[in-house]
Chains A and B, each alone.
Chain A
Amino acid sequence: MITLAALAVLLPFAGAFAGMLGGRRLPQPWVACVPVAVSTVLTAIVAFAVWRSPGERAGTLTLIQTGALPIRVGLQVDGLSGLVGVMVCCVALAVQVYSVAYMADDRRYASYAAFVSLFTSAMLLVVFAGDLLLLYVGWEVMGICSYFLIGHHWEDRANSRAAVKAFLVTRLGDVGFLFGIFVLGVAAKSFTISDVLARAAGMPDTTLTAAALLLLCGVVGKSAQFPLHTWLPDAMAGPTPISALIHAATMVAAGIYFVARVYPVFWLVPAALTVLGLIAVVSMVGSALAALAQDDLKRVLAYSTISQLAVMAAGLAVGARSAAVFHLVTHAAFKALLFLAAGCVIHATATNMLARYGGLRRTMPITFWTMSIGFAALVGVPPFSGWFSKDAVIAAAQHGALHHGDYVGKVQAGWFPQTAAPVAPPPTTDSGAPVWTFHADPGVHLPGGVAWTIYLGLLLTVALTAAYSARAWLMTFFGEARGDARVHEAPGDPQAQEMPGEPQAQEVPGGARAHEAPKLMTWPLMVLAVPAAILGFFGLGAPELRPELVPSLLGIVLVAAGFGVVWLVWNRDPAQDPVRMLGPVRPVFAKAFYLDELYGFVIVRPVVALARGVAVADRTGIDAAVVGTARAARRLGGTLRIPQNGNAQTYLTVLLGGVVVITALVVIFK
């Protein structure tokens, strides 16, 4: 089993290597797709085996002695990693197939596909890693792949900047993450995840709190949560399939996955859960508001991703680990679908701007229907997948709010029998259910105010999600087709951030009509639409994931309200952007509360100024001192040289003077 998991990790890696070195000699699309396809099968087998006989399996290839704690090069498979592993492979496969068509005319398709394969391998390593440092390796390699892929069209300086920003912001969080690993590992005397979890309960409170908060830095960076979320919207500069894979379904979900992975640690630290919950609320509401006012379809989806990741984080904060993971999986399906569909739209219209779309439902029926399913799942229209998973999170949050932050009651009513469980460290392995298990340590509370904040934030987000989705959906597919939008942007137009390879040669000349995307692009859409639609029903198998009446009704009402308001505004004049109703706050939302500007002012500029200062100080301070000593030595030499100037008269005079002085001294002291 571990061998299969290892193969699943290594195959895309080998594919990446071959693709990178092979160049044009190899059939690149096959090199890209086949390893991922095989990995998909392998992870499916692994997940199935774990489902049949739950429990954790671990395997170790070797131990690396470092002089302190050894690094265990080994993998670990359990229900959580099996499920997420399958999810990653499926999305990666869909994206690779889609990219064959999307990037068909790109000269650098080979390196593109290789980086996607490398990324897949790194993500699978994160999922299956049995050692925290090994996980960190995958974690960072994902980051550099993300950097390369965002900057794929590096001719444009804006893309290059976006790539650098994405890497640096996440790296900032990752430093904290690495230190968190140190704290946990040194306290547990092992970097092996299962050992760490087993020994977490015995660690001092301060150690655990420090570890959890430091790890949160990395999670917040990778999963693009406030205050380190600013890289994600800019990351949309990358090709759209990349946005689907890395910046929607997998890498950004890695942060959430990691918290779920080491959940016992977080569960022991209410402070960390409180912080996570508050971050989540700020992220989900703030980015939903920002999504409302974006002009760029991909940026709408990017802010939506931040918001949905925050929903998962909120689920983790209120103790609903299974609900959060459930939402992670459904979100991966529907958000990847949305991005790939957006890619089709962009491919056909050659622009990202919502204002230039319109009426596309007639010309692009497959894209229209699949994207509608995606939006329905995102918004939470029953019975699409997002409705189930979001509802499970909301139900848990509601329970916590009503019971003063006590989330155990719900669990007792659900999975665990309602007998008072003894206070014990949470189990470290998924032993109960195949996939959905819930570890609860009775008696841990979030502050009541925080619980309420999370709950209300979730409800507000539901309404806002409906609103921004409705706006994007209506503006893209309904209304009048907007004339010149279908023609290619003039070269150099800054709005045309991305020019997918395929020129619109097939278009009827002069007709300038948008067309349905090629089959290789629509197939993945249709395949992804299936889980996006029905994945929710799988949640019915676990009691704590079943929809509850009150929260689900509330959710439907809020969705209807959010959608209704936007629809009414839009219906008045379909040619106009409904967001105009926001009036003066619109630019604030569009600029995402000016956070980028603030960071630029508070962090970037001082660092650059400091760097200049250091460069100058090095020249005028330290180096000047060094050169100065040389000069001083020469000057001293010059002074000392004066008596030795070769003038015999001076020498004799001094000699005589000396004799006189000595004689005088002898006479006086005799």
Chain B
Amino acid sequence: MIFLLMMAIPACAALALLVPGARLLPDDASLGRFGILVSGATLLVGLSAATAFDYSHASRAQLAVNRSWEPSLGLRFHLGVDGISLPLVVLTALLTFLCFLYTHRHPPAGGRLRLFTALLLVLEIGMLGTFVALDLILFFVFFEVVLIPMFAVILLWGGPGRRAAATKFILYTLLGSGLLLAGMLLIAVNAGTLDMTELARRHGAGVSHGVQVAGFLLMMLGFGVKAPMWPLHTWLPDAHTEAPTAGSVLLAGVLLKMGTYGLVRIALPSAPDGARSCALALGLLAVIGIVYGALACLAQTDLKRMIAYSSVGHMGFVLLGIATLTPVGVNAALFGNIAHGLITGLLFFLAGSIKERYGTGDLERIGGGMLGTAPRLASFLTFASVASLGLPGLAGFWGEMLALLGAYRPDAGLSRPAFVTFMAIGGLGAVLTAAYFLRLLSRITHGRPRDATAVIAAPSAYEYAAWVPLVALTLLVGLWPKTLLAVTSGPVRALFGGLG
């Protein structure tokens, strides 16, 4: 029931915002407080779910709600979490809360805060629902619920190229969703159930090899658009660059994870044979994504665009982990998901603050010497960049390292030489990742400021409030990776009960 409550809070709040502005929450300040309050309550419910969770049985779906929804089709309203989804649920609630905190003092250009707040709340419902749904159709519904608010957020509050970016985003991801739905139904019809726990328990039993391959391939493409997997990534740089700060943070921090989460939660367990057949292709595309993303970053001139391309590289590591079909690889993927959500969320917050102060995201026009003119902001940016380039002791490292370890010894059914090659290329990609982040730091934080007299505003309390939790969690998860690995290891092992 707790997840029902968790989604009911933002839903009721969003409905309440339909009341005309003159009656309820007339000004922006009260709207901002309302958003903080609602998302904070949701986060509290999420945290209490995390405390109520029984970690000794992390592989079982817990805190479940399982009601009949449409008996004639076999649809069930089935919610619940296990060790794979719990961290993502908490991450989602946290990032949404931080977005509201940030937006309260730094609203997006374009006004209409009422609509913005409502859209973010609807977005939150969709994101939470995706991670707690345990029925294929229910999952798909939530998966789609996310699209419209995000489309509107980009379209209404985005940058100069927002119309094209928003259109590309929604059409591209809808295309992916179509493939995804086909793949899921193909598997579900052949397996005779829509229940995800049941599908995972069967490990693809009763579904022929050909169907599994077709189903996995469709789902891989569908989730691959979202992840994003090279070469299906081109919606992402535009959408990230044009979206307002809160949109970028949620897009990078949560929406991308829905793709990789779906692969781990649905595609892998329900079509293991198909996964084996497609793993090589998935690994190859992942590795290309790593190197390609890093090289593309190296040549970017816009801060937000660079961070967007960096997501292609980082999610490449996540996909590589999944492609190895090993417990360590999937652990790496789940770890990488969370780490990327924390770090890239932080990076987009910082990019928003920089853009707000300098009036541009262009590296050339920002100039240098930020450590001199805005030392705090630059220090946070340095921290986030160093975390993102995968420094051991910070969150980014463990996901990448474990993905490479998985690739060194992939599942027995896969070609080892190919995966060892992937590992080597992925390692070079990590060096390139370091190269572009250090180049970024060197260009904008080092050197002398272009205009030494310019006064750059110090970060506000709300900005700190948005950044500090992410910094603290990056440190915590990085210094003590057991916090996450202990939660995910069990369910991941259960996931491979029929694979290895």
Contact = CB atoms under 8 A, between A and B. Distances in A.
A67 interface: yes
Nearest to A144: B391
Interface in B419-453: 423-424, 427-428, 430-432, 434-435, 438-439, 442, 445-448
B326 A178 contact: no
Nearest to B375: A108
Interface string A107-149: 0000000000000000000000000010011011100100100
A118 to B, nearest CB: 10
A62 B482 contact: yes
A408 B368 CA distance: 59
B234 A67 contact: no
Contacts of A610: 295
A168 B431 contact: yes
A66 B386 CA distance: 23
B328 A68 contact: yes
Interface in B345-379: 368-369, 371-372
Nearest to B391: A144
B447 A157 contact: yes
Contacts of B427: 175-176, 178-179
A4 interface: no
A186 interface: yes
Nearest to A138: B392
Interface string A598-625: 0000000001101110110010001100
B493 A67 contact: yes
Interface string B472-490: 0000000001100110010
B404 A182 contact: yes
Interface in B318-344: 326-331
Interface stretch (B127-135, B177-185, B242-250, B405-413): B405-413
B431 to A, nearest CB: 5
A66 B402 contact: yes
A159 B438 CA distance: 13
A155 interface: yes
A403 interface: no
A199 interface: no
Most B C-beta atoms less than 10 A away, residue of A71, A140, A147, A626:
A626
The range of chain B's interface size is 35 or more
A66 B391 contact: no
A172 B433 CA distance: 11
Nearest to B327: A67
Contact of B446 (A66, A154, A615): A154
Contacts of A168: 431, 434-435, 438
B405 A66 contact: yes
A160 B406 CA distance: 35
Contacts of A171: 430-431, 434
Per DSSP, are chain A's interface residues mostly helix, strand or loop, or mixed?
A: helix
B404 A178 contact: yes
Contacts of B298: 607-608, 611
Contacts of B423: 179, 182
Nearest to B398: A66
Contacts of B233: 622
A179 B408 contact: yes
B210 to A, nearest CB: 28
A183 B405 CA distance: 9
Contact of B485 (A66, A164, A622, A630): A66
Contact of A66 (B331, B393, B442, B445): B331
A611 B405 contact: no
Interface string A46-77: 00000000000000001011111101000000
A154 B328 contact: no
Contacts of B397: 137, 140
A608 B386 CA distance: 21
Contacts of A623: 234
Interface string B229-269: 00101110100000000000000000000000000000000
Given A64-B481, A178-B401, 19 more contacts: A62-B482, A64-B485, A66-B328, A66-B485, A67-B492, A68-B327, A140-B391, A140-B392, A144-B386, A151-B446, A154-B445, A168-B434, A179-B427, A607-B295, A608-B299, A612-B299, A614-B295, A626-B172, A630-B171
Interface of A: 62, 64-69, 71, 133, 136-137, 139-141, 144, 147, 151, 154-157, 159-161, 163-164, 167-168, 171-172, 175-176, 178-179, 182-183, 186, 607-608, 610-612, 614-615, 618, 622-623, 626-627, 630
24 contacts: A64-B482, A65-B485, A65-B489, A66-B402, A67-B489, A68-B327, A71-B481, A137-B392, A140-B397, A155-B369, A161-B442, A163-B438, A164-B439, A168-B431, A168-B435, A171-B434, A178-B404, A179-B404, A182-B404, A611-B297, A611-B298, A611-B299, A622-B234, A627-B168
9 smallest CB-CB distances across A and B, nearest first, come from A67-B327, A611-B298, A68-B328, A67-B328, A615-B299, A160-B446, A137-B392, A175-B427, A154-B446
